[in-house]
Structure 1
């Protein structure tokens, strides 16, 4: 059991210009989502960030909503908040895997986000992880987004790539012209 495991948390980054975050919430388990939002709000406030909130029907819609909001250019980062509790069918696996994959792909495109979609076996696990006075996974997701914003600002000031570092992410295969004499 992991109860004796110690975890290290990075201190929140400091910003010259306050970041603007958007929390995208799937409130299927509303009390869990509310607790996670409380944790995310406290973390954003502690870092001097603003936090707007929108709701979507379910965890599968979170990556699409993040992508749509990212196109607006109004936000520096995103916090995904939701909860998927294992049920009797394989739908759990689909929702967990596809929502996570969608968020990962967005991150690889340079969108700064923290994944706070809980994937648990039962309600008790969800409640403990959502509780801002216990595991505070909502606060952790907000912190992850803030750390990525800080890195993006550090490595890409003004939104331009660092000299000598291409702004390309290759997921598989070769880029055109690569490996050819």
Structure 2
């Protein structure tokens, strides 16, 4: 197997108040999922954050679970974890593409998500990428979520008003600026 190329890794952000993350994992390949979760937990704890872990049946359910939590809870960010290994059918492409696309759309909607759903050709590739002491893709996904949380906090918490913004502070009514015409 080829050696992994080295790359630059951003230092973890620092927080004045701890970040709270939800780790959503599809444990279809339990041993691989456990390594991904271990890496994610360690990275979150290293940044002084807290975490909760929930399991869903498969990679396609990960984005749905994140959306539910994003809409109905108080997590600062999310870590999506799981593993999809190519099989003999086109189901691999469906699961990889749809889970990734759904996570991206949630991110564009403001959710701070680190995507650690492995999409690999075989089990050996998955093991190498999942090992917390190795490539640690679970830790990398947690770090990505932490960086997005830091950006969100830097630029404001993302809670923007919904609806129209008035151009001025005073209220203007439709009609003649002088008021109603007298008869």
Q: TM-score range by the shorter chain?
A: 0.7 to 0.9
User: How well do the aligned residues superpose, as a CA RMSD in angstroms?
Assistant: 1.5
**Displacement of 1:72 after TM fit?**
1.8
- The farther-off stretch of 3-12 and 137-146 is 3-12
Question: Does 1:39 pair with 2:39?
Answer: yes
Corresponding residue for 2:140?
A: 140
Q: Give deviations 1:44-72, integer Å, cap 9, x for gaps.
A: 00000101000000000000000000112
Alpha-carbon distance in structure 2 between the residues aligned to 1:158 and 1:107: 12
Larger-gyration structure (1/2): 2
After the TM superposition, list the runs of 4 or more consecutive aligned residues in structure 1 that deviate by more than 6 angstroms.
none
Residue in 2 that maps onto 1:29: 29
Structure 1 unaligned runs (5+)? 162-181
- Structure 1-normalised TM-score? 0.85
**1:104-123 pair list within 5 angstroms:** 104-123=104-123
Give the number of the structure whose residues are more often helix, by fraction.
Answer: 1
Corresponding position of 1:20: 20
Does the 8 A contact of 2:21 with 2:50 survive in 1? yes
- Give the superposition deviation at 1:160: 4.2
Task: Provide the aligned length of Structure 1 versus Structure 2.
Answer: 161
Q: Which residue in 1 is equivalent to 2:127?
A: 127
Q: Deviations over 1:71-95 (max 9, x none)?
A: 1231000000000000000000000
1:157 deviates by 4.3
Q: Distance in 2 between matches of 1:92 and 1:43?
A: 29
List alignment gaps of at least 5 residues for structure 2: 162-183
Cα distance in structure 2, aligned partners of 1:156 and 1:2: 43
